[in-house]
Every structure is written in C-alpha cells, then in structure tokens.
Chain A
Amino acid sequence: MDAGGDTVAPAPGDVEDLEATRFSREDAGDGGGVPKGPPDLRDGGLQETASQGKEQSPGVLPSLPQAEAPSGTCELWSPTAPASGTAGQAGDPSDEDWRSQRKHVFVLSEAGKPIYSRYGSVEALSATMGVMTALVSFVHSAGDAIRAIYAEDHKLVFLQQGPLLLVAVSRTPQSAAQLRGELLAVHAQIVSTLTRASVARIFAHKQNYDLRRLLAGSERTLDRLLDSVERDPGVLLLGAVRCVPLARPLREALGALLRRCTAPGLALSVLAVGGRLITAAQERTVLTECRLDPADLQLLLDWVGAPAFAAGEAWAPVCLPRFNPDGFFYAYVARLDAMPVCLLLLGTDREAFHAMAACRRMVENGMRTLGATHDLAAIAGLSNAPSASAPAYSVRAVGAPGLRHFLYKPLDIPDHHRQLPQFTSPELEAPYSREEEQYRLSDLYHCLHARLHSTSRPLRLIYHVAEKETLLAWVTSKFELYTCLSPLVTKAGAILVVTKLLRWVKKEEDRLFIRCPPKYSTPPAASVDQAPHNGVFTGL
C-alpha cells in the first residue's frame, strides 16, 4: 500500500491547496497555486473537522478511499496541467464552462463511484469524486464527520446518507443549511425510485456497484429538481406545497369526489396541474398513523409532472421517503380527459392497475357530472406555455403597486390540518422573466430566509434594500412572508404594500389554500395489515 500512499499522501495538505487553486483562480493575487499551510487558515477552513487529523500519518489514507486514479487528481485540478489532452470536454474539471456553474451537486457511493453530477459527465469526474471521498474518509478516520468547507465565495456541503455521499459545491449565497436541505431532497428523490432498503442492500452486497444502472433515466428528474430550486425557491425553502387557486366550493366538491371514488388498497388520491396541487384525499388509516409529509407530496407532484407521464395510463412503483423509506407504493398516473389535469392514485397492491383505472373512470364521470371539467380546463389553460402549464395568477391581482413578487405561507392552519403546509406566490413576471433575474431573486429570498431562521440569531422582520429591488421578510405566528418590492419604495410605503397584501390574502385565502383537506370517511376495503410494507418491491 506504499505506492498508494505516495500518490494520495499529499492529500491532507495538497488537496486543500488544490481546493484553493480551483476556487480562486480569478483572484490571482490570492496566491492561488502556492501551497498553503493548514487548511483552516483564512477561509474558515474545515468546519467541525478534526484538524489534528493532519498530524496523522498519511499511511491511513490509502486504505480509505478507493479513489479511481488518485494520481490523476492533481493533474486534473492543477490549472496548468494539460488535462489529458481533451480539455474543454463537457464535465472535465478543467473545462471553463463546467467550473463557472453556480452550483454543482454530486452523488457518489462510499467507494467513490460516481452516481450523479448535475453538470458534465460523471465519467470525466471520477477523479474529482475520488478527492471528495478522500476528504470525507480522512475526516471520518479521525472519528468526525465533515459537514462543510468554506472556501472564498464557495461553499462545499457534504451529506452522508447510508452508503451514499452527496456533495454540493455552490457559490450561491445559500446557507449551508439550505444546501443541506437541497441535498436531502436529492437523496429523497433517489430513495423514491429505489427505496433506502434496496440501496443499502445493493451496497452491502456489492460495495462497488454502479448505481447508475438503476438510476438511469432518473437524472433528468434530479436536474429538474435542482433547477426548480434556483428559479422557483418557495417549495423547498418553505417546506410547503403550492396549490392551484380555485373557488372553494369547486375544490371541496372535487375533494368529496376523490373521497367517494375508492379502490381496494387505495391510500392517497391527488389531483394536480403542472406540479401544483388541486386537492388530495388521504385514506384514514394512513392519515391517523402518519401525516403525509409535504416533502413526500411535493415529490409526487414533481414526479407526475414528468414528461414520462404525458401519454397513456402509467403504473409504476414509487416510495415516499418520509412516510416509509423502505417500501413501495404503486402509483397509477393518468391525464384526465386529455386535459393537463393529472390524477394520481397511490395504492399498496401491485396488481391493482385495473381497479385503479376503474377508479379513474369514476373520477372522470364524477367530474363531468359536477361540470368541473370546463373550469379545470380553464385553469389548466390559463398560461398557454405548454412546457410549464402551470396555472397561476399575476401579482397585479393584489392591486398593490410596487409589489413585484411574494411568497406567503400561512401558519395559522387549524392543527388537525397541519399535515398540509401550503404556500402561495404569483407568477414571476418582468423584470424577473430572464433566468439571471430569477436566480438573483431566488438568491435574495434564500438570504432572507437564512437570516430569519438563523440558529444563532433568528429575526422576525427584515427590511433589505438591495441593488435592484427592496425586500421585506416577516415571520409571525400566523404567517411567513417574503415580499419583493420596487427599489424606490420607502419604508412606510413598503409597510403599506404589505398591509394591502395581507388583506388581499385574507380575502382570497379560501381560493388560494386548501383550508380543509378532505379525508376518507370510511377506510376502503384494504385492511391495516396490508400496509405499504407489503408492497416492498423485491424485483431488484
């Protein structure tokens, strides 16, 4: 293992240097390429890591990561090295485009095998991922766990989940906690397709298994998830789902309809349009035993919005990581009457496809009797962009000049409805129609959120004058609110706008939110012992 020791040995000091090299290339005066001393010198260094680990002999390293081609690491990361002749290839760490991305997210196995990278090809990144494994293993060998590295304007956040290691490398102003939340969402997405149990089983059985074989095709879902965080931050930031604005009587009628249409083993029925919730009905046994986590519901909403469900009636296993990370539900997904309105029926019986299909026809017939088809088509067709057929409203509806955008999450929902945290926000309109502007707004919201919820010094109210807009964030026992106002607004003017907004939300709350989520009055034929554990998907 001496040879291995030689190649990896420089890691404790040198990886840090390379780290700095990589991140501070633009700031030439920073002494980028010059080897620095201990890692925790200026940039905050390793947080909560045992720095005495440096004193340990490098001999402990070789046994740790099975980093693929560890010797190549240094060359690839050194800016002067000619990076194996294929410089500029997408995903090559020396590629300028790749390096300039705002936020990278990587998933790798404990053995250092790449599983997912947001940008570039995972093949080209195996050396980079080897370094990540080395960092984690090194700190781990000192009996500690690496959580984050702060380097210049970059944050590196590490999250270990079972045999999977998730890493975010970000230069967005998001806090480490927010990035960690994002990594958890990525992990939940992986678990939802494979279950935690089977991931653990696979790696227990074969440590160097290439998980990409099983996740093939799911990368796009992860991409979409990460993109949505940067452009439309409400969902993950507030831990809530977004509802389609709908007149209360219609929503209640639809809820009652879902409640009526049951099938054996049906646990949850959801009506959604473009990733937003119309209404959902939960079977009572599920409800009383465990409240459906909004993260799980959001996962389902994202999932059914995938283009894979655009045609036909689909039947697929899906796991709800918060509810039970080790078992599968079986999901029936279909568009209703060729509308973008999507019906999701979640059951525990693997063979129940035809029962669910029958249930869908009941829902369709019921909707026709209600005359809801027309209204729903109108909602679904509100925004004509076919890509994001997301029904929404304009901020102008509030009638508060100067208000550009807001996120509002009510916290005064009666306790027995707490299982469905919701939020509302208008469409992003000019000046936030371009991607960069959306990123900027999202970053600002993230900053405000991080300060409101700071663990050391939480705040209740922030008035923040930024370069191109003024923001006001406010959290009370009744709501959590983020507003974006025009840059010229005065403090008094801002208060006026917010008061107007709150009044508007109060007036519209029956339309904006599901005030009383429907439940099944009687549990369907399936008994409790037909719990989702029975649905554990053993096909792997």
Chain B
Amino acid sequence: MQIIVNGIKQDLPSELSLLDLLKHLQISPKQIAIEINLTVINAEAYHTHTLNEGDQIEIISFMGGGAHAS
C-alpha cells in the first residue's frame, strides 16, 4: 500500500491502523494532530482508524513561531 505522509511517499503493508503508522514512524502520539484526506482524526480513533491506499496524511505538532515568524 502506498500513502503520502507529510508530502513523502511511504510503502507500507495494508491493514495498518493510524497508531501502527505512528509506531512505524517512531512518532509519539502526544501533542500532535493528524489529518487524513483533509479530515481531522481524533486521537481516540488512532488505533481504530485503518489506512487506505492513496491516503494523504498530515501529521503536525507545534514549532517556534510568533507572527509569521517561521
């Protein structure tokens, strides 16, 4: 299965959950947010949400910034 995470193509086995993806990428699910195909996924659904071929995923966190600073 091919998906795109933060603009980067990823080849992964199918039937992965979002939580599996985070483990694979070694990203802590703390203080991040995830959007799949422009829909925000609640943190409670990370372990139940199954990824599909072609999914476009954005994983964000907070960085230093003030007013258009970064």
A binds B: no
**Which residue numbers of A lie inside 8 Å of B, CB to CB?**
none
**Which residue numbers of B lie inside 8 Å of A, CB to CB?**
none
